[in-house]
Amino acid sequence: MAADLRDQLARACQALAQRGWGTSTSGNASVRIGQDIYLTATGMPLAEVTRRNLAHTKLDGRTVGSTRPTKEALVHLAIYANCPEAAAVLHVHPAHAVAASALLGRRAARYVPPMTPQFVMRAGRVSLVPYFPPGDLALAAAIRKCPADRAILLQNHGALAFAASPSQALGILEELEENCKVWLLSGGRGFLTASQERLLLGRSM
């Protein structure tokens, strides 16, 4: 089972690379198996991730072995601390999500405007975290305080999705990126009302 979850993570990383959401060596991902966290290694392109080259830490952040984890390991650990049901975290930089995060950040928005029912049912209510440099301790601290269902948008940075499996987290990212694309195309107008969103939040895809 553990090896299978790590294989699923490797396949999800390759799918993210094919979408162009993790250019160069950007983007990182992890899975949790009990008290063990397996993460992409620092400087590892998503397209090259395999089960064998993952870094290994414990849930308390202690590194196991000699492979260095991504510098954003603390972000992953913060999400696992907040969401005990999460077993996978994906962090990438889709173009529409990043563009939307920059504009929403300038407006001091707290949440991503919901444009489609699919987005709300798959991603829930997505919080926007203000800008912090990648790897900054303050970013992990902000995420620990963040009320989030299944995804978070980071201002001028990228998107995070977390779920029970890498494939579920990938689906959440797809809906988030599509929602941000529609929001940008609409000129920031036409999103669902608060009452429409509330009716959808209890449902799932």
Q: Per residue in 74-93, pLDDT tens?
A: 999 999 999 999 999 999 99
Q: How many domains does the chain have?
A: 1
Domain hosting 49: range is: 2-201
pLDDT at 149: 79
CA 35 to chain centre: 20
User: For the whole model, what pTM was predicted?
Assistant: 0.95
The answer on pLDDT for 178 being more than 90 is yes
Task: Give the CA distances from residue 4 to residues 98, 122, 169, in Å, rounded to whole numbers and listed in that order.
Answer: 31, 24, 16
pLDDT at 2: 60
* Mean pLDDT score, 57-66: 94
Calculate the average pLDDT of the chain: 94
Q: With CA atoms as reference, report the closest residue to 112 among 22, 55, 191.
A: 191
CA 21 to chain centre: 11
* Mean pLDDT score, 112-141: 95
The answer on pLDDT for 142 being more than 60 is yes
Count Cβ atoms within 10 A of the Cβ of residue 145 and give its class: 0-12 exposed, 13-18 middle, 19 or more buried: exposed
Q: Any idea what the CATH number is for the domain that residue 140 is in?
A: 3.40.225.10
